[in-house]
Each structure stands twice: as structure tokens, then as C-alpha cells.
């Protein structure tokens, strides 16, 4: 569990890692390449390690060089993704499109739901069917192969009922090697989709329109080697902006792409927090003495990102006045509400809407992280709360934030990861205000690099 001693001001600069959600789909995209690809700025995370294990099971040779991964997919040996791995990582369904395009067949277990919702894959399947795949779902397995014994998928016009990020990415990857032109209408416009298109272009794919809702892909027979750098993580950056704001601290972040954070910065501004860009890839959060509540509705990009909803809610718990937060993308993504209320927040839930009444302060408490972004929300709440907050369920956090504790400690935060049996004080002892010998224990308790076991 993670112990955080709150109310410590933060200061300084934090380096933002490569985007988890980009890295995962780019790694799957490496299956499209007939040679080997080098991906730089890949965050060291449990999810990254899992998708690498899936690639290895399919015959990809994966090697690590510093923050880069070299992926040689020239000799794929299997078209079947192992259930034990896919069941742990929804994003592993991304391998379906590339496998189908490369081998003409893909057998991938249905990823199933997760703690934030059901998360169906019907749009992925419909898109692949439109490209000429026969897709059957039997015994929890998606069996897809190219119809009529053809060698390549066939370009098609595909309208997505909803601009799903994953479906856009899966279909785009499959279409890079299809015969003819594919048009994806009502496509997702997220920066991770653009990052994938850039990576595919670096491998020789012909894609245009990414970043708009209309993406056109002219299929090519094969993709070649490429060296590519993963875009900075906008959600990690947004989380650090909130960490600065909620602790009333001025902190600097880089590298970032400010345009990826337009909605988050706009909402921070409405709450009374300035974010300035001193250099093209840098942001600085400038706090104020008091904040105002604001309303938020999560939407596909460029709307407010659902992945920032939970951390932003933590901030609004201590803003003056009322805020209304509507979660429109995932049906079960408000589980952090109960945990924030345990810390003294005043939030009422009605369906997918949370009404937050600002309180003067939060107080440390034992809380449980229920999903990745909920964990981040509890961490930033803990940084602002009086006394000690103890967060359990850290496996969620380790999936998505690279070296979070080290980064926060570098900014001056007081926190440490401990095993329950060695906790320095009982969870929930919110009277604890004196930081313990944190720096010393921290490094030995921080999980080791998840990729080191693999490569
Ligand atoms: C990705 C991100 C996730 C982020 C989400 C929305 C990765 C690894 N994950 O998830 O962090 O929160 O985008 O920005 O990149 N839907 C369907 N049918 C489908 C596919 C999706 O109904 O076939 C629905 C989902 O249930 C959800 C909505 O569409 O309600 C958005 O999902 P989608 O954009 O696909 O999110 P993911 O790609 O799963």
C-alpha cells in the first residue's frame, strides 16, 4: 500500500513519460512490420510488459535498449493470443487487426469487461468484417480470417456508430495492409490515434486525415522498418497539473504537447488555476489561494478526457461552490466517489452524474483504488489531505503511471510504499503528520522495472 503524508507543498520540475495508451497500440502495430522496429520513450509499466509477453507468444523478438524496445516481427509463429495474458489486459485486443492483416488469420480471446464497464468490441468486429474478414465468436474466442481464401483484406468505407479509440486504431492498422482504400467515418480524433498513424506512416503506410473524424488509408503490400518515439502522456501530464493545483504549488512539466491538454487546461482556468507554456513542450501550473467549482462532461477528444475525470474530481472536492461531473463514456467510472467521501469530500451520485459540494479540506483516510485513474485521483487527494492517506489496490496504479512515487518525491511529496505488515503506522491514523524516513525506504519498496523480468 501507499502511504501519503499530505499538505506538503510541491516544487520543481517533473519529466513526463511516453504515453501508455500510445505505447500499447504502437507495440501491437509493430506486428504489421515485416522487419524490426524501434520504439523509443516506451514507459516501463506492467501493461507494457504484458503486451510484450503477448507479442513474444506470437513470435515477435523483443529486446530492450534503455527506454527503447526493439521489436522484430519478421517471423510470426502464431496467430493465437494466449488467454492468460489477454484476460489481464484489454488493450491486447489491438493485436487482432495487425495479425489479420499480416497473417490472414487472428485468434484472440474476447477481452471481457473491466472495473470501469462492459467495454464491448462490436465496433472493432464490424470494422474488420467490412474489410473482408469472417469473424466468429465461439467459446469466448474471436476467430477471424480473410474471407474467400484471399491473401489481403479489402479496403472499405466504414462508419463507426461511436468514435471508439480502440476500434479506430484496430481498423486503421488492419487497413494499412489491405488492398485499396479504406475510409473510417466518425473516427476517433485522440492524440494516440494520430501517434499510431505517425508510426504507421514511418513504416511506409499511407494514411491521411488522422486527427479528424474522417481517416483515409490507402493499403500497401508491406510495411518496413522504422524508428519512432512515443508521444508524451497527456493523462500523466494532466494528473501532475492537478497535483500542483490541489497542493497550491507551482510545478513545471515537460515534455508535453499543450494542445493535447486544451480541455483540461480550460477547466483548470475556469476553476481559477493558470497554466502557462514557457517553452513549446513545457507547462507550468500557477496556483491561486482559492478555487471555484466548475461543471465537466467527459467526451471524445477534443472534449474533456474520461481518463482525467477522477483526478479532476479530487481537485473540485476542495473548490468553492458546487460542481457537476457527468461521465458519459464508461458506465462504472465513478467508484472513486465513495473513497473521496471517506476523505471528507461531499459528493452525491445520481447515475452517471456526480454533484460535488466543495469542502474546506480533505482528511487522510485508508482508501481503496478501484481502477487506474481512480488510483491517481486518490493519490492527488492524499497529497492535499490533512494527515496520512493509505491507498490499497496499487496494482492499478502500476499499470499506468511510470515511477509515480519517485516523480512525486522529486517534487517534495512525502510518500512511501510499504507492505501492510511493515506499515509505519496503522492505516487510517490520520493524526500522523510527521514524515518518516521516507527516502530511505522508498527505493527498496518501489516495484522493480516490470520489463526487466521479460527481456
Ligand atoms: C481507450 C483508452 C482508455 C480511454 C478510452 C476513451 C487505451 C488502451 N485505452 O479505451 O484509457 O479511457 O480510450 O478515451 O487506449 N465501445 C463500444 N463498442 C466497441 C468499442 C467501444 O460500444 O467496439 C464503447 C465503450 O464501451 C465506451 C466507448 O465506446 O463506452 C469508448 O470506448 P473506446 O473509445 O473504444 O475506449 P478504448 O479504446 O477501450
Q: Which pLDDT score is estimated for 66?
A: 85
List, in sequence order, every residue forming a beta bridge with 207; answer none if it has no partner.
217
Compute the distance from residue 5 Cα to the ligand 1 centre, in Å: 34
How would you class 115 by CB atoms within 10 Å of its CB: exposed for 0-12, middle for 13-18, buried for 19 or more?
middle
Q: Please tell me which residue in 52, 114, 200, 441 is annotated as part of the active site.
A: 114
Pocket test for ligand 1, best of 29, 125, 135, 164 (most atoms within 8 A of CB): 164
Compute the distance from residue 308 Cα to the ligand 1 centre, in Å: 14
Q: How far is 324 from 138, CA to CA, in rounded Å? A: 42
Compute the distance from residue 286 Cα to the ligand 1 centre, in Å: 32
For 186-262, strand residue ranges (E) read 206-210, 213-218, 226-229, 251-254
Pocket test for ligand 1, best of 329, 332, 372, 373 (most atoms within 8 A of CB): 329
Q: How far is 209 from 217, CA to CA, in rounded Å? A: 9
Compute the distance from residue 166 Cα to the ligand 1 centre, in Å: 6
Compute the distance from residue 237 Cα to the ligand 1 centre, in Å: 20
Nearest CA to ligand 1 atom 3: 307
Nearest CA to ligand 1 atom 4: 307
Q: What share of the chain is helix, strand, coil (3-state, %, to 5)?
A: 35, 25, 35
Q: Which pLDDT score is estimated for 427?
A: 39
Nearest CA to ligand 1 atom 12: 307
Nearest CA to ligand 1 atom 20: 121
What b/e sequence results for 200-213 when a residue is b if at least 16 CB atoms lie within 10 Å of its CB, and e otherwise? bbbbbbebebbbee
Scanning 247-295, the segments in alpha helix (DSSP H) are 262-270
For every one of its 455 residues, what pLDDT tens digit does the chain have, with 9 covering 90 and above? Answer: 999 999 999 999 999 999 999 999 999 999 999 999 999 999 999 999 999 999 999 999 999 988 899 999 999 999 999 999 998 888 899 999 999 999 999 999 988 656 776 778 999 999 999 999 999 999 989 999 999 989 999 999 999 999 999 999 999 999 999 999 999 999 999 999 999 999 999 999 999 999 999 999 999 999 999 999 999 999 999 999 999 999 999 999 999 999 999 999 999 999 999 999 989 999 999 988 889 999 999 999 999 999 999 999 999 999 999 999 999 999 889 999 999 999 999 999 999 999 999 999 999 999 999 999 999 999 999 999 999 999 999 988 988 999 999 999 999 999 999 987 665 544 333 333 333 323 222 232 333 444 443 43
Pocket test for ligand 1, best of 46, 48, 166 (most atoms within 8 A of CB): 166
Containing H/E element for 368?
A: strand 366-368
DSSP annotation string for 97-139: HHHHHHHSEEEEE----BTTB----HHHHHHHHHTTEEEEEET
Give the binding-site residues of ligand 1, using a 6 Å CB cut-off. Answer: 21, 24, 91, 117, 119-124, 162, 164-167, 188, 192, 306-307, 329-330
Compute the distance from residue 120 Cα to the ligand 1 centre, in Å: 9
Phi then psi for residue 184, to 5 deg, are: -105, 115
114 among known catalytic residues: yes
Cα of 428 vs its chain's centroid, Å: 29
Amino acid at each position: 500500500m501507499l502511504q501519503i503524508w499530505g499538505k506538503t507543498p510541491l516544487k520543481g520540475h517533473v519529466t513526463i513519460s511516453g504515453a501508455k495508451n500510445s505505447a500499447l497500440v504502437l507495440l501491437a502495430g509493430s506486428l504489421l512490420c515485416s522487419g524490426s522496429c524501434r520504439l523509443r520513450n516506451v514507459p516501463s509499466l506492467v501493461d507494457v510488459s504484458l503486451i510484450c509477453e503477448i507479442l513474444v507468444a506470437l513470435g515477435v523478438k523483443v529486446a530492450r535498449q534503455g527506454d527503447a524496445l526493439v521489436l522484430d516481427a519478421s517471423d510470426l509463429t502464431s496467430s493465437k493470443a494466449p488467454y492468460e495474458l489477454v484476460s489481464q489486459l484489454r488493450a491486447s485486443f489491438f493485436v487482432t487487426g495487425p495479425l489479420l492483416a499480416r497473417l490472414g488469420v487472428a485468434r484472440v480471446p474476447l477481452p471481457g469487461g473491466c472495473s470501469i464497464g462492459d467495454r464491448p468490441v462490436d465496433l472493432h468486429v464490424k470494422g474488420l468484417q467490412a474489410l473482408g474478414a469472417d469473424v466468429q465468436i465461439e467459446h469466448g474466442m474471436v476467430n477471424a480470417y480473410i474471407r474467400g481464401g484471399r491473401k489481403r483484406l479489402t479496403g472499405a468505407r466504414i462508419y463507426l456508430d461511436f468514435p471508439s479509440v480502440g476500434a479506430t486504431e484496430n481498423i486503421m492498422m488492419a487497413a494499412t495492409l489491405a488492398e485499396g482504400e479504406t475510409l473510417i467515418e466518425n473516427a476517433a480524433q485522440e492524440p494516440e490515434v494520430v501517434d499510431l498513424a505517425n508510426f504507421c506512416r514511418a513504416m511506409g503506410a499511407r494514411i491521411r486525415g488522422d486527427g479528424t473524424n474522417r481517416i483515409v488509408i490507402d493499403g500497401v503490400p508491406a510495411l518496413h522498418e522504422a524508428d519512432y518515439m512515443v508521444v508524451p502522456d497527456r493523462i500523466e501530464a494532466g494528473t501532475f497539473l492537478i497535483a500542483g493545483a490541489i497542493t497550491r504549488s507551482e510545478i513545471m512539466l515537460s515534455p508535453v504537447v499543450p494542445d493535447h491538454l486544451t480541455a483540461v487546461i480550460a477547466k483548470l482556468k475556469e476553476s481559477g488555476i493558470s497554466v502557462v507554456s514557457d517553452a513549446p513542450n513545457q507547462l507550468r501550473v500557477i496556483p491561486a489561494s482559492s478555487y471555484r467549482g466548475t461543471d465537466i462532461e467527459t467526451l471524445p477528444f477534443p472534449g474533456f478526457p474520461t481518463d482525467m475525470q477522477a483526478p479532476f474530481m479530487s481537485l473540485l472536492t476542495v473548490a468553492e461552490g458546487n460542481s457537476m461531473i457527468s461521465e458519459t463514456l464508461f458506465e462504472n467510472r465513478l467508484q472513486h466517489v465513495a473513497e473521496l467521501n471517506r476523505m471528507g469530500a461531499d459528493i452525491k451520485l445520481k447515475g452517471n452524474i456526480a454533484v460535488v459540494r466543495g469542502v474546506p479540506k480533505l482528511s487522510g483516510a485508508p482508501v481503496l483504488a478501484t481502477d487506474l485513474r481512480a488510483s491517481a485521483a486518490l493519490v492527488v487527494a492524499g497529497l492535499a489531505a490533512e494527515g496520512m492517506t493509505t491507498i490499497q489496490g496499487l496494482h492499478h496504479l502500476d499499470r499506468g503511471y511510470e515511477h509515480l512515487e519517485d516523480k512525486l518525491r522529486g517534487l517534495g511529496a512525502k510518500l512511501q510504499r510499504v507492505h501492510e505488515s511493515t506499515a509505519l503506522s496503522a492505516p487510517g491514523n490520520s493524526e500522523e503528520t510527521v514524515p518518516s524516513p521516507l527516502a530511505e525506504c522508498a527505493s527498496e519498496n518501489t516495484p522493480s522495472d516490470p520489463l526487466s523480468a521479460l527481456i
